[in-house]
Chain A
Amino acid sequence: MIRLSYATAIMLFCIGLYTLMIKRNLFKTVIGLSLMEAAVLFLIITSGYIPGGNPPLLPLEGTSVNPLPQAFTLTAIVIGASDIALALAFIIKLHRRYGTVDLDKIRGLKG
């Protein structure tokens, strides 16, 4: 189960990276960024899982999973949402300036 999670996270990261590099639409760039962030979050949480563990809440019965990666992931989720919001605001401003969201056309028009 843990190996399966690692493989899924790595595949998700590669799909996101491919989308980020190849697609011409600016929205696809932001979607690729979001997929990469989701892959990293999945990887972090899986690394803190202990088989047979319980959620880190008191009263505790048995062992609990590692609570440190969960604290990192909370921070990472909120920061990821913030930078996607900023990227979308930039897309709106670019559209207002150039009239299109297509990266090839924006690179072709100079000023």
Chain B
Amino acid sequence: MSTVLYGFFCVFLILTALVASEIEDILSSVISLSINGVLLAILFVILQAPDVALTQAVINSGLVTSLFLVAYSQTEKQDLRRGDDKK
């Protein structure tokens, strides 16, 4: 495993974290957090931990993202929809 490829993954990890924390739109932040989870699972495989990589990919990128989206649809999306309604 060359150091350059590993360094690329680590830099990508930090970039997605920065995007998730700085962007104002909640939907983009949540998708970026999900990409962060997938990259972390790839890094776990490189570090020879297949059990942990499977758990991380299923739980953090599948389940937690869907819970975020449910919470988003119950709160902010209704605010946005109410704000755009010109009734």
Judge A-B direct contact (beta carbons within 8 Å): yes
Interface positions of A (Cβ within 8 A of B): 1, 4-5, 7-8, 11-12, 15-16, 18-19, 23, 25, 27-28, 30-32, 34-35, 38, 41-42, 45-46, 48-49, 53-55, 57, 65, 70, 73-74, 77-78, 80-81, 84-85, 88-89, 91-92, 95, 100-101
Contact partner of A49 (CB less than 8 A), chosen from B40, B47, B51, is B47
The listed residue (B6, B26, B52, B71) touching A70 by CB distance below 8 A is B52
Contact between chains at B48 and A65 (CB < 8 Å): yes
Binary flags per residue of B44-71, CB closer than 8 Å to A gives 1, else 0: 1001111110011001100110011011
Q: Helix, strand, loop or mixed for chain B's interface?
A: helix
Interface of B toward A, CB cutoff 8 Å: 1, 3, 6-7, 10, 13-14, 17-18, 20-21, 26, 29-30, 33, 36-37, 40, 43-44, 47-52, 55-56, 59-60, 63-64, 67-68, 70-72, 74-76, 79
Closest 6 CB pairs of A and B: A19-B21, A95-B75, A88-B71, A8-B10, A55-B48, A65-B48
Q: Cβ of A78: which chain B residues have Cβ within 8 Å of it?
A: 55, 59
